[in-house]
Structure 1
Amino acid sequence: MPDKTLICKECGKEFIFTEGEQNFYKEKGFENEPQRCPDCRKAKKHQNNNNRNY
């Protein structure tokens, strides 16, 4: 399974979905590829965590 180049739906930048990440997603039973790059995923997670504190 080769690395894949994906486009982030938030910022539009290309990012690499590595073979290791693909295997991890498969092991966890995730059917969809990530939609956001690692930076946008981190920002979204941080935003969601802040919203839960209220």
Structure 2
Amino acid sequence: MADRTIACKDCGKDFVFTEGEQAFYKEKGFENDPVRCPECRKARKAEKNNSRPRR
């Protein structure tokens, strides 16, 4: 495996999907590559966490 450059689905910025990240995804059984850069993934996760009702 080699590092791959992917364009973010949200912001359009290119980001590197490293060999180590690819190995991690494979180990976890993930079949799809990431579609968002780390910054957009972090923002999306924070948005999801803030919209959840608290118990």
Name the TM-score, length of structure 1 as normaliser.
0.96
Whether 2:38 is the aligned partner of 1:38: answer yes
The residue type equivalent to 2:48 in the other structure is N
Aligned-residue Cα RMSD (Å) equals 0.9
Q: How far apart, CA to CA, are the structure 2 residues paired with 1:8 and 1:2?
A: 19
Give every structure 1 segment of 4 or more consecutive aligned residues whose post-TM-superposition deviation is greater than 3 Å.
none
Segments of structure 2 that go 5 or more residues without pairing to the other structure are none
Match of 1:13 in 2: 13
Aligned residues: 54
Residue 36 of structure 1: CA displacement?
Answer: 0.1
Please state whether the residue corresponding to 1:46 is helix, strand or coil. Answer: helix
Segments of structure 1 that go 5 or more residues without pairing to the other structure are none
Please state whether the residue corresponding to 1:33 is helix, strand or coil. Answer: coil
Match of 2:2 in 1: 2
